[in-house]
Structure formats: structure tokens, C-alpha cells
Structure 1
Amino acid sequence: MNTAITRIALAAAGLAFAGQLLAAEPKRPECIAPAKPGGGFDLTCKLAQSGLKDGGLLKAPMRVTYMPGGIGAVAYNAVVAQRPKDPGTITAFSSGSLLNLAQGKFGRYDENAVRWLAAIGTDYGAVIVREDSPYKTLNDLLDVLKQDPGKLVIGAGGTIGSQDWMQTALIARAAGVDPQKLRYVAFEGGGEPMTALLGSHVQAVISGLSEGTAQLEAGKVRVLAVMSEDRLPGKLTNIPTAKEQGYDITWPIVRGFYMGPEVKDEDYAWWKGQFDKMLASEDFAQLREKRDLFPLAMTGDELREFVLQQVAQYKQLAGEFGLVQ
């Protein structure tokens, strides 16, 4: 009799625990991409959308919504101030978001204002031109800038001090060119610069490589350099690095998600658990590779520590260019 009662009690406890897990799953999951469609934030949200769905880790379909403004500033402020407890919303971030935080561009909120959830991959900065461009190498392009910094129009996602500007500035500085003298056209997000490049409104784009791989595969653009330590694997192996062309510049672009500061621990833990499972999946690794991102997996406290270290490093770099507010 006691055994039967024990079994019933254990079963009831198991059902209660399962009920708690189910209760933690959001009914209307949402991923906020803090820019217009087509750029890196959009790619980040859609990668999680597919990975969680295909892995059976999210029952309800996750919608992607767009909240452009300030390369993440509008979304960051909205989540912290207006939706701090929302258990169903994750928001995409990148290294560019952290760079802006380092410069105080997100207003009164700093890097401690949100709950850092998961990093799911890394991209790399790249210098991209049209396929019919006269510039065949990075040195071809930089030789022109050395003679006349204002001759070329360079398009990128973000204003002075943004991630794309910082990549541009590092390359210019390495070539002995004053970054302040460049003709730099800022766009909102990564999709618009590529459109401007294809329309010949700008002569080069400096942004994340993944934002141009679709056009690369279509034969519409050429990548003059990728800012990785070594050449990338697979179909991207023919792209030279900036380092091998004489410019010791690397720029990895972390892509991931955060949640509101007052999200309950059980809701945060549910999302973290789902991302841990997704990131350990071989199916997700293949999906990430198809999106031209490279392995990087961090969640929870590990990611938070990484974010704090990155922001500190970016503050130092921004100070070198006189950008810290």
C-alpha cells in the first residue's frame, strides 16, 4: 500500500514538474530584429526561428518583428523600459550592439540593463565591391584612398562610431589614411548598403560577410578581404584575409540574443535550456553553416561575462578614435 502511495506521489510530482516546464514555454514567442529586414539582425532571428522549430524545441511559431533605430538602441530601450518582464520575447544583438553600448549610444541603459541569453554564431567583417568593380584586391582600393580619401563612397550599416565604421576606420588607419576624411554613407542595418552597392550608389561596402554571401553566390559582388585570423572554410576559402594582404586587422561579429531585465528566472532558464539543446545539435550546425555563420556557443553566465569583457575592450578602442561620450 505504501509502495502504491509512493508511486502515486512520485507521479504527481512528475506531472507538477512537467506542468512547470510547459508553463515556462511562451505562447506567442517573438524575436525582435533591431533593424530593417535583410541585415544581420534579421539573419540572427531567422536562424533561431528555424533552429528552434526544426529541433522541436519551440511548439508555437516564433514571429520576427522589426524595430529599427540607432543600430539596436531603440529596441534596447523599448525592451528595458516597456517590456522588461516579457517572457516570450528575445532580441537579437551583435558585436555592433556592444560597441554602441561601450560608447553610451543606448542612452541611460548600459550593458548591465538586460539578461544576456545566448550567442549562436559568429560572422566576420568584410570589404565588398561589385563584381564589375575595377578594384580586384584590398590594396587596389586602399591605393585609391591613399591618393584621395574622398574619391570612393563607402556604404555601411551605422553612423560614425558604429561597428561598420570602426572596421572602416581600422583599415584606413592601417593604410595611413585619416578615417575622418573618408566619404562614408551610413545606412540603417546591413540590407540597405548592399542594395546601394548593387545600384552603384556606393563603390564599396564594409560590413558583416554574411550580409553579402547571397550576392556573392549570385556572382554580383566580390569580397576583397575578410577580417578573420585565417581563411574561412568551405565555399569561402578563396576569399583572402586582410592580414594576408598586409593589414593586421580582425573583426569577429558575435550574433546572439538578450531578454528583458525582469524576466522571471524560470522563463529565462527555459529559453537557456532550449538554446543549449539547439547549439549542441548537428542539425543546427548545418543550418548555421548554410547561413554562412561560424561556430560560437555561449549561454547564461558565460555569455554575460563575455559581453562585459567585450564592452570593456570596445571602450578602449573607441577611446583611441576619440569616440567615447
Structure 2
Amino acid sequence: MGKLVDGIWHDVWYDTKKDDGKFVRKGASFRNWVTSDGAPGPTGTGGFKAEAGRYHLYVSLACPWAHRTLIFRTLMGLEDLIDVTIVEPLMLENGWEFGSLREPLFQAKFLHEIYTRAKPDYSGRVTVPVLWDKKQGTIVSNESADIIRMFNAAFNQITGNSLDLWPEDLHAEIEEINQLIYTDVNNGVYQCGFATTQDAYEEAYDALFGTLHALEDRLSRQRYLLGARPTEADIRLFTTLIRFESVYVGHFKCNQQRLADFPNLWNYMLEIYAWAGVADTVDIEHTKTHYYGSQKTINPTGVVPKGPAMGLDYPHDRVRFDGVALSAVTLSAVALSAVGG
């Protein structure tokens, strides 16, 4: 892990001393939007029109934030419109690396080179995902929460997609549950793992498991976070849950209970894993290699555990609730209805 300072790479870990041992995540630096007509989005500047082949996505298969964008790219039928480069699992003294094959646009070795192509004097962390515009030669966004909303609808006039995981009538409810899950779960596991004082760790730990218990209760009564319809909030939670057993329980000391000890959360995770194409975006071995092999301040030896056995292909019990499962058949029906098929 490192960062750029005025365009120069520095290999430095997070400084938690100034925040009483707490890990504080910095906001994304590039916040432009791809829109259907190229008009400006909620933040940033305009000029980024949805076009086939124009955009390139940089991701890590280990990163839960990048994983969101891969799932949306799959569910919204964008695989042929937006190509992808996957970084190597290990993130060491040079940050995210592309490996011996380099990346396809510029033959770059490191992701920080992509950042400095967009802004030569960039200062900040070099994170994934990154959505790159080939036409303007710059980064559109490195904020996963924004990218998934672009993928949700901006390309619909090209793909014919009508699946909507950010439905207007649920905006307020989605934002509310997103905030809870981001603070206590998505970022909460990192606050546990990166804490450098006992008080900071226990504060994050208690908030994490308090919220997991509340979500377990919520999912005991309904299929998805907001009822019978899946939304982006479910994807945002899933990408943390799918890493919980293999990484966060041990590596980040989130060990009050395993996810398997929450039957509703566990089966909810299994259902989303079974959605059309989602399993293809999951790589548990890549994920373990990244966390255990890269984060030497937490795991100095770099030894990667062999387990656990996940059983991700086991049947789930969520069919006991009414709701829409995003199977291949469902997605095909959505696409056909959008074009009058």
C-alpha cells in the first residue's frame, strides 16, 4: 500500500496515530459521471457519454469496492461494452500491479501510472475500481458507489436493459440502509483490521456485530434488505459478506461469530452468489492471497490459510420468501421486455 504525492509514488501504510488508532477512509478523488447523453451527472463535469467500447474498468478481484462494479457490469449486460483489466492479487511496495502481461491501453506496470496519466501531479491513494475514458484519456471515476449507478442505467439505450437496482421510489430507503451498512459493515471490517489501539478495535467490532445482528433479524422477515425487490444495497452488502469467512473473521479479527452462524445472512449471501453471472466475479483464493499476502503490518509472515471450505454452491433457503431472484432466465426476460420481445 502506498500513495502518490505530487505525482511521485511513496510506499507508506495508513497513519492511524492522528485519529486515536482508528482507520479513517478518505473519499474518492475522481467523481465524474457517464450519462446517456454526456450531460453532467450529480458531481464533476460532463462530456462522458455512454458509448460501446469507450470505457475501460480497472479492478481487483480481492477488493469488495471493485467487486460491486464487476457485478453490476455482469447484471446489466455490459461485458461487451466495457472491457476490464484485473490487477495482480499482491499489493506491495509499488501498490496495485498489472503483472508481466502489463495492461492493454498503455502497457503500464502499475496502477499509479494510470492515475498520473489522468493527473500528473495527483496526490492521494491509488485505489480500485477505476473507470477510464479512452476518448478523453482520463479517469471518469474511482468511486464505486457512483460507478454502479452509472452502470445501472446510463447504457440502457444501448443494451435494452430495464433491470433497475436503483429504483426511484426506493432512493431514500436505499440511501439510509447504504449508510448503515457502509459505516458499520463495509468499512467496519477495515476499521477492525486496521485499528492500532484496543479501544478503536473494540468500538468498530461492537458496531459491526451489532449491525450484523440487526441485519440478521431484518432478513428473517423478508427476502432482501428492502423487501421483495433486490436493490444496489444488496450488492453492496454481499461483497463484504462473501469475504467474511475467508478473510475478515481471521485476518481482521472479526471473530465474535462466523457468517455461517447467522443463518439468514448466510443463506442471503448464497442466493446472491447464485444469481446469473455473480459466481464468475468471485475468486476466494485471489482474495485470500491479497489480504494475507499484502498486508504485512497485520500478517508479517505473509502465510495464506488453506481454508475455510466455503460451500458456496450449496442450496439456499430464501425461496421461502416472496421476491425476485436474478437468474439467467429473469435477466433474459428483463432484456426482452425492454425491447418489446
TM-score by length of 2: 0.30
Going by fraction, where is helix more abundant, 1 or 2? Answer: 1
Larger radius of gyration: 1
Going by fraction, where is strand more abundant, 1 or 2? Answer: 1
TM-score by length of 1: 0.31
Structure with the larger RCO, 1 or 2 (CA within 8 Å, 6+ apart):
1
